[in-house]
Structure 1
Amino acid sequence: MAEPWTVKRVLEWTRGYLARNGDEHPRLSAEWMLSAVTGKSRVELYLAYDEPLEKAELDQMHAAIERRAAGEPLQYVTGEMAFRHLVIRCEREVLIPRPETELLVEEVLGYLDALPERAVSRTEEPDPSTTEEPKDPEPQAEEDGAERYVPLEEESEQPAAEEPGLAESLVADRGDLSDNGLRVLEVGTGTGCIALSIASERPGTRVWATDLSPAAVALATRNRDSQGLAEAVEVIQCDLAAGVPGDLLGTFDVLVSNPPYIPTAVMGELPREVAGFEPKLALCGGEDGLDVFRRLVELAPVALRPGGLFACELYEGHLEQAAELVRSQPGWASVEVKEDLTHRPRMLLAVREG
């Protein structure tokens, strides 16, 4: 009788086969793929060492092994990956999220956490720049042709204007759009990992996420729906913010992006696992890697409110050049470069004046 293909035997055989075919982390790959096939966690695999696999599971595992041995990224083979607190679906034609992008999310969350007073005022209080509270609670004596002070409770009984201005419309709909009044615009959402992390970790924040790629928009939408975030995240297929409602521009607290940023000359140096499988549209940023970034620099003053944050992940060798592009534009209170986990320049954070 043939020896059964148990969990232990499959793991050991897969590890050896992948090692001979150039996988740098063959045990990890074997564990992830077998977890995806069996539905067991990596810990559960080791608790089920002697359990034989069903024929359908063996067939799926064989197909996964061949794909991985051919160099296909593990995230595409298993169809998912962990990103911060979420499990994100991954598919070919859409960029695989990187660990450093988790730090970009962390920077955005830190900025949003510093805005509780602004969030409350945007949903509950009128704009102080357009509303003057009377110092004297007593009604003023009326004079010919003079306006009388109307108490707030009396004002609330007046009929609404037939055609409210833009500012009034924005204040009115903030309560409908989110619980905390905070708004984030993400350009180039890919899998949706940034937008979904922000929305899930800061409940009540509304996120508009755009992407030019139909495949990315479809995947981000599926990831959004599987996380139960359909009310918090709007996914739009468009170039930059072309599909974002015009009355939202100028009201975003954050513009965040992980755009294509690999310089053309560096594209030829990418590992085959990246260059051979991940979409060039999401990787190549032009000669200096800043083609899309330059357009984002032009978008930021239009999209952000005064004091809003522009947060962007970029190629390590061109962060200072990117920072100078922002500094050369008026209206920025601060421009800062942040490092990733390997202490390489990775993120640009710029705050608008006001």
Structure 2
Amino acid sequence: MYKEIWTIGRILQWTEQYFQSKEMDTPRLDGEVLLSHVLGKDRIYLYTHYDQPLIQEELDAFRPLVQERAKGHCVAAIIGEKDFMGLTFKVNDKVLIPRPDTETLIEHVLGTYQKDSNIRILDVCTGPGTILLSLLHYLPNACGMGIEISTDALSLAKVNSERFNLNDRVQLLESDMFSALDGKNEQFDLIVSNPPYIRT
């Protein structure tokens, strides 16, 4: 009996068409990111191995991810990671996924301070730590504090802090805006924030 063969190229074409029918903004990219995740390869691998047949286990792993994306779930939340400022952050559906627009904030700060600046940074509504940890990564003499009301987001920020070896330079506190700082004589050279402003 003839068994249908799904190559990398064919599954990407099918997925792109499927996502287009669901009116996804980036149907090709979404399919590539999901398949790269399943295969444990970078996206360039997909194009250098376009004719490679997929095994049943890979197809079985890919299918539910496509279904989740078709339901409107963010690709980054589905795969649990998001690249931002050259770093790969752990994310999930409990946090806002960092957007490329936020990189302009990081770039502005990095353009304002010298790389060896010994500054103290406060990040309000830190989420998974995207802004604060990126700044600490690129400013190796800086230290900082992230405050966040969501315990789920804060736990991810701690995971990311460990991932980037920044635990000795960062303090993460559960706080409703500035409440954890009430009565404390905390001082910062820089306060940054990209609070949630989209209801969904």
TM-score by length of 1: 0.53
Q: Of 174, 184, 189, which residue of structure 2 is paired with 1:237?
A: 174
2:155 pairs with 1:218: yes
Q: Secondary structure at the match of 2:93?
A: coil
**Residue type of the partner of 1:199?**
L
The one-letter code of the counterpart of 2:178 is: A
CA distance in 2, matches of 1:106, 1:248: 29
Give SS of 1:243's match: helix
CA-to-partner distance for each residue in 1:146-202, whole Å, 9 max, x for gaps? xxxxxxxxxxxxxxxxxxxxxxxxxxxxxxxxxx3x110111001211011100011
Residue 97 (structure 1) shift: 1.1
Q: In the alignment, what sits opposite 2:196? A: 260
For the residue of structure 1 that corresponds to 2:179, the secondary structure is coil
Q: Unpaired runs of 5+ in structure 1?
A: 120-179, 268-274, 276-354
Instruction: Indicate if the aligned counterparts of 2:136 and 2:166 stay in contact, CA closer than 8 A.
Output: yes
Q: CA RMSD in A?
A: 2.0
C-alpha separation between the residues in 2 aligned to 1:59 and 1:16? 19
| Separation of aligned partners in 1, 2:56 and 2:128 | 32
Q: Where do 1:258-337 residues align within 5 Å?
A: 258-261=194-197, 275=200
Any stretches of 5+ residues in structure 2 without a counterpart?
A: none
Asked if residue 77 in structure 1 is aligned to residue 78 in structure 2, the reply is yes
Percent identity, aligned pairs only? 38
Q: Name the structure, 1 or 2, with higher relative contact order (CA <8 Å, separation 6+).
A: 2
CA contact (8 A) 2:16 2:31 kept: yes
In structure 1, the partner of 2:14 is 13
Give the match's secondary structure for 1:44. helix
| Distance in 1 (alpha carbons) for counterparts of 2:182 and 2:135 | 21
User: Structure 1: which amino acid aligns with 2:58?
Assistant: E
- Structure 1 CA distance for aligned equivalents of residues 107 and 159 of structure 2: 23
- Supply the AA of the counterpart residue of 1:70: K
The structure 1 residue matched to 2:146, chosen from 205, 209, 214, is: 209
Q: Any idea what SS the aligned residue of 1:252 has? A: coil
Which residue type is aligned with residue 256 of structure 1?
Answer: V
Counterpart in 1 of 2:4? 3
Per-residue Cα deviation, 1:229-281 (whole angstroms, up to 9, x for no partner): 212222211122333596651x311011112345xxxx5xxxxxxx2xxxxxx
Once the 2 structures are TM-superposed, how far is the Cα of residue 79 of structure 1 from its aligned partner?
1.9
Distance in 2 (alpha carbons) for counterparts of 1:234 and 1:61: 38
Q: Is the 8 A contact 2:123 2:192 kept in 1?
A: yes
User: Is 1:236–1:244's contact at 8 Å kept on the other side of the alignment?
Assistant: no
1:75 deviation in Å? 1.7
Mapped to 2, the partners of 1:246 and 1:111 lie a distance apart of 30
Task: Give the match's secondary structure for 1:71.
Answer: coil
Number of the residue aligned with 2:111: 110
Rg (Cα) greater in structure: 1
1:178-193 superposed matches below 5 A: 180=118, 182-193=119-130
| CA 1:240–1:91: 2 relative to 1, 3 Å | same
1:191 aligned counterpart, secondary structure: coil
Contact 2:123 2:193 in 1 (8 A): yes
Count of equivalent residues: 199
- State the shift of 1:52 in Å: 2.4
1:200-222 per-residue CA deviation (whole Å, 9 max, x = no partner) reads 01112101111000110011111
Aligned residue in 2 for 1:86: 87
1:54 CA drift (Å): 3.1
For normalisation by structure 2, the TM-score amounts to 0.90
d(CA) in 1 for partners of 2:197, 2:6: 45
| C-alpha displacement of 1:50 | 2.2
